[in-house]
Amino acid sequence: MSESNFNYRIEPWSIVTENKEYKTPIFNLLKRSMKLQAVDETDRGDFYVLDAPEWINIIAITEDDEIILVEQYRYGIEEPTLEIPGGMVDEGEEPLQGAKREMLEETGYRSDTWSSLGKVSSNPAIMTNFTHMYLAKNCIFEGAENPDTHERINVHTMPVDDFLELVKNGTVHHAIVLAAVARYLLIEHG
């Protein structure tokens, strides 16, 4: 992926102080006092952000040209979702290494053919992390998945065109999944 060549003209804010207000196993809530370089006191403010680890998600395609999907319950929206494999990058782990681990844990599939689809800001208004997106081709089933403690996952495979119909009709609605799908379509299918 090439880096952006867009010339931003907006002035960045500077962090004056940063305090950890709340800690959870998944993210920390930070309070940042920030200011613009200008001297006007109205150009200062307190902002709350979620400091989270990097995330990954994978467009995984089998040797039979089917996409690998995971169905799982999402506690935030209180309903099941249909998604591509993904998760958090562990501390000290590179994003690609995390992608390989997550795909094997969630689906039981592995691949030796990986390429980057770039990264997106998970939610730049309130979050510090990025989601790194990968394409894994020629995925081979190695055995039963090994999900995390509270994950209950059903693995599905289907032709990519059938999956894209589920995207089109709104069945697939997870924002960072849709970002990976868009990037995949732009890169792989121009």
- For the stretch 74-103, pLDDT in tens is 999 999 999 999 999 999 999 999 999 999
190 band by pLDDT with thresholds 50, 70 and 90: confident
pLDDT > 70: percent of the chain? 93
| Arithmetic mean of pLDDT over the chain | 93
Q: What is the pLDDT of residue 167?
A: 98
Complete DSSP assignment for 77-133: TTEEEEE-SEEEPPTT--HHHHHHHHHHHHHSEE-SEEEEEEEEES-TTTB--EEEE
The pLDDT tens digits for 6-61 are 888 888 889 999 999 999 999 999 999 999 876 666 788 999 999 999 999 999 99
How distant, in Å, are the alpha carbons of 85, 98, 112, 127, 150 from that of 78?
19, 26, 35, 22, 14
pLDDT at 151 over 80: no
Q: What is the pLDDT of residue 147?
A: 66
CA 183 to CA 177: how far, in whole Å? 10
How distant, in Å, are the alpha carbons of 82, 84, 145, 155, 167 from that of 179?
14, 11, 25, 21, 11
Q: Rounded mean pLDDT of 151-170?
A: 95
Q: What is the pLDDT of residue 39?
A: 64
- Collapsing DSSP to helix, strand or coil, 189 comes out as helix
Q: Rounded mean pLDDT of 66-73?
A: 97
Q: Rounded mean pLDDT of 130-139?
A: 98
pTM confidence score: 0.90
Measured N-to-C along each axis, helices 175-189 and 160-168 cross at an angle, to the nearest 10 degrees, of: 130
List the one residue out of 137, 54, 129 whose CA is nearest residue 103: 137
Q: What is the pLDDT of residue 99?
A: 99
